[in-house]
Chain A
Amino acid sequence: MRDFYGTKLANGLMLGTAQYPSPAILAEAFQRSGASVATVSLRRESGTDRAGQDFWTLIRDLGVRVLPNTAGCHSVKEAVTTAHMAREVFATKWIKLEVIGEADTLQPDVFGLVEAARILVEDGFQVFPYTTEDLVVADRLLNAGCQVLMPWGAPIGSGMGLNNLFGLRALRAHFPDTPLVIDAGLGLPSQAAQAMELGFDAVLLNTAVARAGDPAQMAEAFAAAIRAGQLAARADPMEPRDMAAPSTPVIGKAFLS
């Protein structure tokens, strides 16, 4: 498995911490899934006077690696400020970098993303950029010093799964040594399995689990699907073909009419 800035993760599930019915159910979702990373978004207002401290303590108590997130930032300046705040709060160099470019689809502003990534890498951050499947943008992000890429599957919270299979396959093929994480848009475990079968290293999701009727059970389902997809990818799947190929030979079989 490819490592993330030198860290090997126990599994490919990165789980968000927003929108759960309660922190107790959030903790249960982490226990049942064994997710290896918790993403947490900071609001700037919660950073003043450390007003978010009660919740951050709950996140730290999960006992998993924390990946702070600049969710909801619409400009380079906002994202950089939030990243610095996150580093102070969670004492980690890891930052999931989101620079939102469009309000309805929440799709990344890839120009701002590359600029913010360059600034944060120079500041010593280890950046996990939320990007599209665009190869040129991916290349720019790697040049800016990112060592992980997080392309979207579909718009955040939409649950539509992997929207552009061709683009995601191309990304995997072009950057065979870069850890790639599908970030956002997944609604079902089968979609997570598909991402892993394509050779992605992890998936990051939140809404699909948090807004399920039983979040902990859905988290477990995703963990199982990710494991299945990963095993399948390592097992070298067969190539599909358009002609039937019976698994038992026909010749020599007793068939009578």
Chain B
Amino acid sequence: MVEITIIGAGVVGLCIARELRDRGAHVQLYDRGGAPGSHSCSWWAGGMLAPYCEAESAAPEVLRLGGDAASWWQHNTGLVQQKGSLVLSQHRDQGQLRQFARRTSHFDHVDRTQIAELEPDLGDRFSAGLFFPSEAHICPRATLTSLHQSLLADGVDFTQGERDPANSAKSGLTIDCRGYVARDVLSDLRGVKGEMMMLSCPDVSLSRTLRLLHPRIPLYLVPRGNGIFMVGATMIESSASRHVTARSLLEMLSAAYAISPAFGEAEVLETGVDTRPAFADNLPRIQRHGNLIQVNGFYRHGYLLAPAFARRVGNMIFGTNQQEVPHEHSA
């Protein structure tokens, strides 16, 4: 049996562990916290599986590699919400909506009535939008926890503690999935700060991701069920990750309020901030140096791209003919 050490139990480390375990490897996972948690930036993510929307500003690879993500997650966790995404703008920003439409695909134009049918609680507030029916979302925390549990059940060892990738590689195949922490060995990695907040607002019921286009503060809102919503996320060229700034809080709350004034009564459950790891092209990379494989740079596309990159790592280690990727047979 192939013995593999993975360092980092964020979304990338866990996806790779799942993929390698499925191919018969014995996987040992090291993590600062011992299990998925608030110390990894994927804990704070939106969990949008929205390759067509992301194509508005992302490289074509994101669309190509992220297309299968929802079925991978559904196969491995069963937690995918396949409700589509709804892209909206306020009346004065209709130009933004036209531009978004020109740069994306796989959507339907929806008018005031259709928007109200999709999301009754929006009422007639928005006159035009774009609906991407094939997109999906997941709850990152439930998803990471589910993946953790299934890996434990399949005999993957989780050890709490730091582990130096270079040292580990001396004794066996090691995959470094530490995100921005790996900046010490990846000098071209940069940090992009993201801030988010969780709101509780039982008065509002929404079933899908809403993106609010705005020239200054494009933000999104993802329903987590039970009247809880995640609002995110800022994108700031900074590696600071201590607290959310007042300005960002104002922007996020304004976006929520613009979507529905009922959010004015919401309770703020939590705010979060962390550092996305990114390379200059904002695309992930797999780099191999002998026994050490570094997988990093997922930027804002961890959940969308980790499955495809986990498969690539599997192919790199086992060769492409080892086993068909199982999720492609699931429906």
Contacts and interface: CB of A to CB of B under 8 A. Distances in A.
Interface of A: 21-25, 27, 43, 45-46, 48-49, 51-55, 58, 157, 211, 213
Nearest to A212: B99
A51 B245 contact: no
Interface stretch (B8-16, B167-175, B199-207, B233-241): B233-241
A46 B237 contact: yes
Contact of B238 (A21, A22, A24, A45): A45
Interface of A is mostly: helix
Contacts of B239: 51-54
A51 B240 contact: yes
A140 to B, nearest CB: 30
Interface string B110-127: 000000000000000000
Contacts, number: 56
B304 to A, nearest CB: 16
**Max chain A C-beta neighbours (<10 A), residue from B190, B238, B280:** B238
B238 A52 contact: yes
Interface string B214-240: 011000000000000000000011111
Contacts of B283: 22
Contacts of B191: 51, 54
Given A21-B59, A21-B282, A46-B237, A54 B103 contact: no
B321 interface: no
A22 B240 contact: no
A54 B281 contact: no
19 contacts: A21-B282, A22-B59, A22-B278, A22-B281, A23-B280, A23-B282, A24-B282, A43-B238, A45-B238, A46-B238, A46-B240, A51-B193, A51-B240, A52-B237, A52-B238, A54-B189, A54-B191, A58-B190, A213-B102
Interface in B103-145: 103
A43 B248 CA distance: 12
**Max chain B C-beta neighbours (<10 A), residue from A48, A51, A213:** A51
A52 B275 CA distance: 12
Given A21-B282, A22-B280, A24-B281, A55 B59 contact: no
Given A21-B57, A45-B238, A55 B282 contact: no
Given A21-B282, A22-B281, 9 more contacts: A23-B190, A45-B238, A45-B240, A45-B245, A51-B191, A51-B193, A54-B239, A55-B238, A157-B216
B61 to A, nearest CB: 11
Contacts of A55: 190, 237-238
Contact of A43 (B59, B99, B236, B278): B236
A53 B99 CA distance: 32
A24 B215 contact: no
B58 interface: yes
Interface in B144-172: none
A42 B103 CA distance: 30
**Max chain A C-beta neighbours (<10 A), residue from B57, B193, B237, B278:** B237
B90 to A, nearest CB: 13
A170 B322 CA distance: 74
A54 B236 contact: no
Contacts of B102: 213
A230 to B, nearest CB: 30
Nearest to B237: A55
Contacts of A54: 183, 189-191, 237, 239
A213 B99 CA distance: 9
A213 B98 CA distance: 13
Contacts of B216: 157
Nearest to A55: B237
Contacts of B282: 21-24
A48 B59 contact: no
B152 to A, nearest CB: 35
B140 to A, nearest CB: 23
Contacts of A23: 190, 280-282
A54 B192 CA distance: 9
Interface in B51-65: 57-59
